[in-house]
Amino acid sequence: MRDDVPAPLSALTALLAQEWTQPVPEAVQVVAAEIQQRHAEVIDAVLFYGSCLRTQQTADTVLDFYVLVRSYRSFYTRRLLRWLNALLPPNVFYIEVRQGPRTLRAKYAVISTADFERAATPAVVPAIIWARFCQPTRLVFARGEAVRNRVIHAATQATLTFLSRVIPFFAWNDASRSFPLADLWQRGFRETYRTELRTERLETIRALYTASPERYDRVAQLGLQSLEQQGRCVCRESDGQWSVAMPRRVRWTGKVSWAVRATGAKCLYAVRLFKTALTFDDWLPYVLWKLGRHTGVWVELSERQRRYPLLLGWPVLFKLLRQRALR
C-alpha cells in the first residue's frame, strides 16, 4: 500500500481485502477448480458473487462467477468469441461439474483484467461491474499478489463509483437533509436495476442490504469519507443519520445521467442477450428461469422454441412485454 493513499480509502481497501479473501463453500471451490483446469494459465482471477453467496445455498441453483483473463487472444481459439468479448464484455458460459452424487451448475462471465478495472470507474456508463462488485464478493483464486491487489483496488473503485453515482439523489446545497445509509444503498440498487430489461421486486432489492447491513453501513461510511477527502462532496454524520452537500450543478448532472444511463444500458442489455445466444448453451430456458425467479412471471417453452431460440423465441419476448416482465 502506498504511503500517499488517503486513510479512508486505505481503510476501505483493507476492509474489502479482508472480505473478498474469506473462505468459500466446497462446491464453489470445486467449480472454480474446474474452470481453472479448463483454461489453464490464461486466468488471472476467479470471483464468486451473487445470491448464492448471500444465502450460502449451493444446491439446486446456478452459481455465479466472474473469470478475469490476461487477454482475450490467449483465452479464445475462435476469433468470433474473441471479437465479441472485446467489443462488449463479458461473454457468459455455462458449466456443470459433478460433486459426488450431485451436479453443480454455474455460469461464468469472462472479462479481461484490464477491462474489469476500467469498468469499475466512473468513466464507464453501464453499471454491470461497479454496481455488482460494490456488493460482497469472494476472490476464489488470484494469480499472485500483484493480481490480487489489482482486483481489490478495482473493487474499491467500484464502490466509490457506486456511491458517487447515488449521492446526488440525497445531497443538498448545505447538507441540511439527512438520511440513513440503508436508503442510500437501496436507492442505488433500485436505480441500477432500472438500467436492465428485467425488473426486480422491491423486497428483493431490500434483501440485498438487509443480508448484511453492518457491512454495507461500514463500506458506505468509509467510501463517503474517501469521496469527501477527494473534494467531491461534504459529509456529516449524526446519530446514524448522514447528510451530504454538493453543488446544485453536480447534483442535477448526476440525476440526469441516470436517465441517459438507463436508456443506453437497456439497449446494451438487449444486445448482450443476443450475444449470449452465441456463447451460452440452452440460454433461453435459463434466461426465462432467471426472469421468473425475479419477477414471478413464468413462461413455458415448446420443444421447437428450445431447439431454435433465435428463430422462434420472439413470441416469448412479446409475451413477457405484455406481462411487463421486461420494461
Residue with cell 455488482: 132
Round to whole Å and give the CA distance between 299 and 312. 14
| pTM over cut 0.95 | no
Residues 294 and 243 in one domain: no
Question: Which pLDDT value is given to residue 14?
Answer: 96
CATH code of the domain in which 187 resides: 3.30.460.10
Strand (E) or helix (H) holding 207: helix 202-210
266 in any annotated domain: no
In this structure, which amino acid lies at residue 215?
R
Whether residue 269 is contained in a domain is answered as: no
DSSP type of residue 326? B
* Residues 65 and 135 placed together within one structural domain of the fold: yes
Cα 110 from Cα 89, distance rounded (Å): 7
Whether residues 32 and 166 share a domain: the answer is yes
Grid cell locating 252: 442535477
Q: 72 lies in a domain?
A: yes
Q: Is residue 260 a part of any domain in this protein?
A: no
| pLDDT, one tens digit for every residue, the chain (327 residues) | 444 444 566 899 999 999 999 999 999 999 999 999 998 789 999 999 998 999 888 877 889 999 999 999 999 988 988 998 998 899 988 888 888 888 898 999 999 999 999 999 988 878 899 999 999 999 999 999 999 999 999 999 999 999 999 999 999 887 778 999 999 999 999 998 887 766 667 888 899 999 999 999 999 999 999 999 999 999 999 988 999 999 988 899 888 888 777 776 667 776 776 676 666 656 666 666 666 666 666 666 666 666 656 555 656 666 665 665 555
- Domain of 299, in residue numbers: 283-327
Assess if residue 83 is contained within a domain: yes
- Check residue 306 and give its pLDDT: 62
Which residue do the cell numbers 421447437 mark? Answer: 304
Name the E strands within the chain: 43-49, 62-69, 91-99, 102-112, 138-142, 178-179, 234-238, 241-245
Same domain flag for 48 and 194: yes
185 and 289 together in one domain: no
Both 167 and 225 in a single domain? Answer: yes
Residue 176 has a pLDDT of 78
Residue 237 domain-assigned?
yes
Out of 255, 274, 308, pick the residue that ends a domain: 255
Distance CA 48, CA 26 (A): 12
| C-alpha to C-alpha distance for 314 and 140, rounded to whole angstroms | 38
301 and 249 inside one domain:
no
C-alpha distances in angstroms, 185 versus 133, 197, 202, 209? 13, 21, 13, 7
CB of 131 within 8 A of CB of 162? yes
Do 212 and 289 lie in one domain? The reply is no
| Count of structural domains within the chain | 2
What is the C-alpha separation between 231 and 225, in angstroms, rounded? 10
Q: Report yes or no: 188 and 162 within 8 Å, Cβ to Cβ.
A: yes
- Examine the domain organization and report whether 12 and 137 are in the same domain: yes
Please report whether residue 265 resides in a domain.
no
Are residues 57 and 130 part of one domain? yes
Does residue 177 lie in a domain region?
yes
Given 236, 255, 274, the domain boundary residue is 255
Q: What is the DSSP letter of 144?
A: S
CB atoms within 10 A of CB 164: 21
